[in-house]
């Protein structure tokens, strides 16, 4: 049997590193960046969807805190961690439900 060339082993590691970067690390970093942008844009009156499937309108945002208050309807308000906001809905989404 012939010994493997060290350069070919290094080449294989480089290929695996590139695959890891483009298929795992880069998409995850992009999602994290988009989520941070979403969190910075949260404001009172914004209609949002939570990770639990609740749809409501933000009624209170405290800058130093991680929690926000969401009104589900006219009488029900809940306090959740702002990281559980999945997406911002277009204006008027609550009226159409």
Domains and CATH numbers, the chain: 41-93 (2.30.30)
Q: pTM (2 decimals)?
A: 0.69
**Integer Cα distance of 7 and 92 in angstroms:** 61
Could you report the per-residue pLDDT of 1-15, keeping only the tens digit for each?
Answer: 556 788 888 999 999
Stated as kind and residue range, the H or E segment containing 15 is helix 6-20
Could you report the per-residue pLDDT of 37-62, keeping only the tens digit for each?
Answer: 888 888 899 999 999 999 999 999 98
């Amino acid at each position: 049997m012939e010994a493997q060339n060290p350069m070919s082993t290094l080449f294989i590691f480089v290929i695996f590193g590139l695959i890891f970067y483009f298929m795992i690390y880069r998409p995850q970093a992009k999602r994290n960046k988009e989520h941070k942008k979403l969190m910075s844009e949260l404001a009172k009156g914004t209609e949002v969807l939570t990770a639990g499937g609740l749809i409501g309108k933000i009624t209170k945002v405290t800058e130093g805190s991680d929690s926000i208050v969401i009104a589900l309807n006219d009488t029900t308000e809940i306090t959740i961690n702002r990281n559980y906001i999945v997406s911002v809905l277009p204006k008027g989404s609550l009226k159409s439900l």
